Each structure stands twice: as C-alpha cells, then as structure tokens.
Amino acid sequence: MELDKIIPAIFLIAVLVLIFPNFLTTNSKLKLFLKNLIIWSIIVVSIVIISYFVFK
C-alpha cells in the first residue's frame, strides 16, 4: 500500500477511536444506537467513495 492511502485510513480509524466511546455513552437505547450507527456509516462510506473517485 502506498503512503497516500495509508494516512487517510489511519486518520479515519483515529477519528473513530476518539468518537466511539462517547457515541456509545449517548446512545444507550438500541434503536437510537442503530439509527445513529447507520447514519455515520453512510457518511463514512460516502466520504471514502468520493475521495476514491476524486483522488484516483
């Protein structure tokens, strides 16, 4: 893997590690947790897809 692909992946993982504990704390109900998890998953996947096509 090239460095220009590794750095964004590390950045996304670091952001996830920083956000996830508070995300779990504030979303104690399962329905709310799943809803927010789906929303964040869509956001992350969209960013990855857009960055793939833009920086290809």
Answer whether 0.75 is exceeded by the pTM: no
- CA–CA separation, 56 vs 54, rounded Å? 6
Q: What pLDDT score does 32 carry?
A: 86
Q: What pLDDT score does 13 carry?
A: 92
Q: Hey, what are 16's tokens?
A: 């996830």
Q: What is the mean pLDDT of the chain?
A: 86
Per-residue pLDDT of 25-42, as tens digits, reads 887 788 888 898 899 899
Amino acid at 11: F
What secondary structure letter does DSSP report for 56? -
Q: What is the DSSP string of 1-55?
A: --HHHHHHHHHHHHHHHHHHHHHHHH--SHHHHHHHHHHHHHHHHHHHHHHHHH-
